[in-house]
């Protein structure tokens, strides 16, 4: 399975290009899943069908479409955590604190986490069902934060594991000499196998490492979409910087909505980008028909095989 993420400033045509790319890949005989992470969902509008959280087959083709509802994922995540908390602090269910936690879905970081969880779920569940998964992402800022999250979390988890190991070492020493107990006289875990905290940390690390390895791996590409204007150039530069910082594999960049009238600006934008990133391949996508060569966007292969 291979994945392509279409990223870029709002309104540059990420949804259109990802929808077109998904269609082309399907026509080439692949099983394709197109997923929209953008809260302003357009994928269904482009294909003119109503989509939901669940994947839906498009007209008996090998193309499946899905719109991930980040808000729904966020509330699912909060619910699962609340259930866990209720098990631990059982008196909460009697006091019915539920209503007080409605606000939790507006907590910072929840949306990114929900997106990451959905991404992890899709990668895990659809790994064998599809040849290509095409992601339409939310605008730059959020996308970069989502893509950075596994790396960030792993480095935190590593640090926590290190401290936890030291704690267990101390506990082991004390256990050897006199036994380790807490205030209530229960034995404290002193081996990694017994310690639920370190086991949880290892589990979390494995999970994020899986996502991280995948999005950094050779089966994944991040495509940047921009328009022939300097405003979207500046944002693309920031985006590319972020992608290089995170060590993510860069795919083709698309100069979308290119017109013959704005040839000069379009050339200027491309020139500046290639000066900064010499190995970046830029593909021009014309707005409408190319009068000289008489070709439409759908006539050329958007995704070179990788």
Residue 153 binding another protein, by CB under 8 A? yes
CB of 24 to another protein, least distance (A): 37
Position among 28, 40, 52, 84 found at the interface with another protein (CB under 8 A):
84
Residues 121-150 that bind another protein (CB under 8 A): 149
Position among 164, 228, 232, 283 found at the interface with another protein (CB under 8 A):
164
Burial of 70 from C-beta contacts in 10 A (0-12 / 13-18 / 19+): buried
Residue 166 binding another protein, by CB under 8 A? yes
Residue 103 binding another protein, by CB under 8 A? no
Q: Is there a contact between 248 and 212 (Cβ–Cβ < 8 Å)?
A: no
Distances (CA, A) of 92 to 80, 81, 95, 106, 107: 15, 13, 5, 21, 21
Q: Which is nearer to another protein, 87 or 247 (CB)?
A: 87
Q: How many residues does the chain have?
A: 306
User: 38 by DSSP, 3-state: which?
Assistant: coil
Residue 271 binding another protein, by CB under 8 A? no
Distances (CA, A) of 4 to 87, 106, 121, 159, 164: 40, 29, 16, 31, 37
Q: What is the largest CA-CA distance in the chain?
A: 87
Residue 81 binding another protein, by CB under 8 A? yes
Residues in contact with another protein, shown as a per-residue x/- string from 168 to 207 under the rule CB under 8 A: --xx-xx--xx---xx----x-------xx--xx--x---
Single out the residue of 194, 198, 188 nearest to residue 160, CA to CA: 198
Position among 160, 250, 265, 280 found at the interface with another protein (CB under 8 A):
160
Residues making contact with another protein (CB under 8 A): 77, 81, 84-85, 87-88, 107, 109, 113, 149, 152-153, 156-157, 159-160, 163-164, 166-167, 170-171, 173-174, 177-178, 182-183, 188, 196-197, 200-201, 204
């Amino acid at each position: 399975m291979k994945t392509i993420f279409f990223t870029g400033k709002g309104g540059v045509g990420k949804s259109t290009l990802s929808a077109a790319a998904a269609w082309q890949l399907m026509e080439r005989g692949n099983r394709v899943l197109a997923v929209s992470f953008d809260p302003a969902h357009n994928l269904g509008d482009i294909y003119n069908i109503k989509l939901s959280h669940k994947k839906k087959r498009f007209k008996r083709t090998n193309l499946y479409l899905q719109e991930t509802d980040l808000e729904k994922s966020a509330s699912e995540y909060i619910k699962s955590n609340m259930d866990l908390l209720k098990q631990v602090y059982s008196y909460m269910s009697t006091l019915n604190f539920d209503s007080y936690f409605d606000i939790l879905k507006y907590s910072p970081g929840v949306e990114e986490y929900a997106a990451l969880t959905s991404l992890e779920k899709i990668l895990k569940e659809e790994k064998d069902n599809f040849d290509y998964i095409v992601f339409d992402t939310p605008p730059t800022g959020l996308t970069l934060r989502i893509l950075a999250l596994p790396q960030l979390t792993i480095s935190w988890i590593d640090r926590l594991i290190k401290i936890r190991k030291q704690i267990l070492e101390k506990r082991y020493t004390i256990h050897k000499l006199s036994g380790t107990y807490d205030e209530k006289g229960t034995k404290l875990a002193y081996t990694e196998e017994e310690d639920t905290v370190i086991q949880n940390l290892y589990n979390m690390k494995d999970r994020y490492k899986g996502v991280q390895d995948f999005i950094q791996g050779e089966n994944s590409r991040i495509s940047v979409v921009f328009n022939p204007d300097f405003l979207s150039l500046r944002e693309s530069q920031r985006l590319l910087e972020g992608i290089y910082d995170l060590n993510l594999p860069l795919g083709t960049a698309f100069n979308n909505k290119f017109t013959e009238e704005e040839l000069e600006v379009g050339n200027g934008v491309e020139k500046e980008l290639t000066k900064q990133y010499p190995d970046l391949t830029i593909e021009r996508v014309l707005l409408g028909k190319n009068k000289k060569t008489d070709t439409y966007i759908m006539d050329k292969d958007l995704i070179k095989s990788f």
